[in-house]
Chain A
Amino acid sequence: MSAPRVVIVGSGLAALAAAFTASRGGAEVTLVSGGVGASALYAGAVDDVPWDELERSAEISGAALEARPLPAELSAFAEALDLWRVAEDGAPPPRLVTTAGITRSAQAHDRALLDLGTCRGRTVLVPRAERAGWDADSLVRCLRGAVSPADEVDLAAIGAPVLRFDEERDIVDVDLAARHDDDARLAWLASTLAAEIERWGRASVALLLGPWLGASRYRADALSARLGVPVGEALSATSGTAGARFERARDALLDKLGARVVAGWVTRVEGGAAKPRVVLRAGEPLACDVVVLATGGLIGGGVRYAPPEYGAPAEGAKAVRPPLTLSPEVAGAHLSFGGDHGPASSTQGPVLDERAWPRGPEDGALERCGVWVDERGHLAKKVLAAGDVVFGGRRTVLRAVASGLAAGRAAAALDRPESPAERAP
């Protein structure tokens, strides 16, 4: 029996995770990458349940936050990706610092981010840099208010230069980060910081920088080795630096897995009894045995929201179209905002006025919207879905990865005649 051919649509974390288990299961994997999604824009923190929700329930129950062990398969994936630092079982979870001036926990994190837990008993030095969005003094002031006595850290802004050229005041974060991919440049950075660090004493300080420590590889460890103090980035959700590092690590892993990668936008997936076909906007359709849809939510582009008045002829829509569509189109797919956001909630489309954003512990409709799947992850016959494209659940890295791993595993098991995929709705 030949290896099942699996086409994975998407190139985010869910797609990569599916490629990982599908390859391991012996499938022949083709990944169709449409471009940038949530994974390439994420901030470097890795959660299972959204951190703000965890911290709030811990606050209410009075229980201490604890890192939970990753399931074996997730651990294996994280190890292969070689991008994150995962907290040890039972240890306090990492405490990250954000450019918004707060501290937050995470299950795991991009290795370049600073974990305050590694800075106990130290003063975290924050170099000033003339860049929009980076104000060391204000960050220090806010973080001093944000850390608890239990963190055992202090903070201070320092004047040591971190920008080498004038234009570096204005280039975007990820470009500045890319400059530190270069060893000579990193050596320069270490040398400008060394004197200040010596002055404070190596044993008593750590170093916090913006999202600038490498775009294709994480450079925090290299800098830390040169300086002899803990070094890391502040988490920034608008920089794209951590996302850039994810994309590099993903490409390397796909390479290792021997997956074929096709660049293109998928417009339609034909499931059903015959062999599924994946239709691209340009180029030949791909024939295969099973499809994994990992096209992301609204951010990734897998789910689109277009209320009837948009794109309608100037005279107004005559027929009411569903406001949510799936990209690629899959016959019979059912999308939802959940609850009261069905197409009938107004004569002209859903009213998101109050529900688009999260409110208290309720997640927002825009976070939740997606395609319905059955309990085994099937969206149609021979079509599985994973990650943010799936309705409900939380939009977090570990959820995307876990569902991707499961979908890849199920896809590879297709060659067994009475496989779960065959029994799909």
Chain B
Amino acid sequence: MSDALSRRGFFAAFSTPFARKVEAVPQPVARPAAGSAEAKVAVVQGRFCLALTSFCSVCIERCPVPGAMKKERGVPMVVADVCTGCGVCREVCPAPRNAVLMLPRRPSTRRHSV
């Protein structure tokens, strides 16, 4: 899919003034280095997630980073390597007990690239 049709633009438009031009859509900010004070990663707690017993797809729809979330057995999962820790998924989660946890990102032995 062409870049213009990526999921990024749509959700940025949602959270910004209505008639905003597409060029002005902010790109996701670079994430803080792992292990730094602000570095976070999202985790979906399946047992609180509405997708488990009912229907919900809001976090996946609204996550601004392509590939940071995927569905695993119908329930959303965060791909930690891709997640920037922006927290959108937690903000929009409508579950009665918020199903998204923002955890401090610990330097991982597996991800030497960061």
A associates with B: no
**Which residues from chain B sit less than 8 Å from chain A, CB to CB?**
none
